Structure 1
Amino acid sequence: MEPTYTSGEVAKFTGVNFRTVIRWIERGELEGYKLPGRGDHRVQHSALLEFMKKNDIPVPKEWLVSKSKVLVVDDDIAMASAIARVFKRLGWEVREAHDGFEAGMLLAEFKPEIMTLDLKMPYMDGFKVLSLTREKYKMGSLKIIVISAQHINELEKALSLGANYILEKPFENDSLKKMIFECEAQ
């Protein structure tokens, strides 16, 4: 059975006053329910975990039994770090590759659930990585998010080669988070 928490327990996990938790529930921001009689509020673990991830509230380490894995592939180290930060804040285990060859080696070894992929990279571009990944590794469950500053025609070509999502650079963190949540839901 899934654990259920009181508003006071939720307040301790999130670092706020219990009245704030009650307002979250009453406004529909946090899924919860009222007990008959006294009217105390309760929140199920899965609803709290989803709320914390969605709102960038640190999740207790003991809740992260098995981390999801992401491989961030981008030759721009600052961009790769920015993408990785979004995933890390959501509790993901992150590895970075800065060219297509490194990505190929890490795909086989690391076995991520999601790979973010830039299209324009030295040695082996993102199109080649995408094609090889979909052909060679037969990783049907691997979700690929192409994050690139290339023209929309190039991004659409990536979709035709097997990308699940495309995101234009520069991007908003919330747009990336939305795609991550969609990948998790599939």
Structure 2
Amino acid sequence: MADSAQTDFARKKIFTTGEAAQVCKVSQQTIIRCFDSGRLTGFRVPGSKFRRIPREELIRFMNANDIPLDLLEGDVKRILCVDDDPQIIDLFRDLLDGDSRFEVEFCGTGYDAGLLTASFKPHLMLLDYKLPDINGNEVCKRIRSTGDLSSIKVIFISGVIDRAEADSLLTAGADAFLKKPFDIGELMGAVEKHLGIEAHHGNNGSARGG
């Protein structure tokens, strides 16, 4: 039952005060007091006095009060996919978005990657080397120089750099590099390896891109 509740919390978008109390490991009255004082914001169900707390606000509150996110995260791993090629993004969406092990966000620029990295806090990033506004290597360097983000796993994916450049990316802080066209099984294997999760079988084929 505990594992089931943890999985539910990992996917839940709106929380009752009782659920928020369970996630934060405090009393429900503590959550109610924080809500009523404005320290924890949310909304009331129309026509009632019931309080509801959006997930992003609960995460903000927990981070501000140094409350571990373990119950909220469960076993679900967050992945940020950064690529300006719509076909590659569609491929990532097909592979990852329907997988219950992952929560996935997508973007196509280094600027958006920076914003999402700060708010979404991914466990792993699939990062294109050639982005329209900034070199993917710069995105990686900024992640590695930011304390609370430095543990993010970064897998570079590109078809336009040679082996020496790939080695330089690894030296700069990337955890892995895959060259396009890449094998889907190789991609999933790298994702599972760097997230430390058990492999799922059945993915094969290859994907192309620039």
Q: TM-score, normalised by structure 2?
A: 0.55
Consecutive unaligned residues of structure 2, counting only runs of 5 or more, are 4-72, 198-210
**Alpha-carbon distance change, 2 to 178 in structure 1, aligned in 2, over 3 angstroms:** farther
- Quote how far apart the aligned CAs of 1:87 are: 1.9
Q: What is the aligned counterpart of 1:115 among 113, 125, 129?
A: 125
Change (3 A) 1:104 1:137: farther
Q: How does 1:20-35 map to 2 (within 5 A)?
A: none
Within-5 A mapping of 1:1-186? 66-91=75-100, 92-149=102-159, 150-185=161-196
SS at match of 2:177: strand
C-alpha displacement of 1:93: 1.2
Unmatched 5+ stretches in structure 1: 4-63
After superposition, the CA RMSD in angstroms is 2.3
Compute the displacement of 1:137 (Å).
4.7
Aligned sequence identity (%): 30
Q: How many residues align?
A: 126
3-state SS of 2:154 partner: strand
> Which segments of structure 1 move beyond 6 Å, counting only runs of 4 or more?
none
- The amino acid of 2:172's aligned partner reads L
> Structure 1-normalised TM-score?
0.61
Whole-Å Cα distance in 2 between the matches of residues 167 and 89 of structure 1?
A: 22
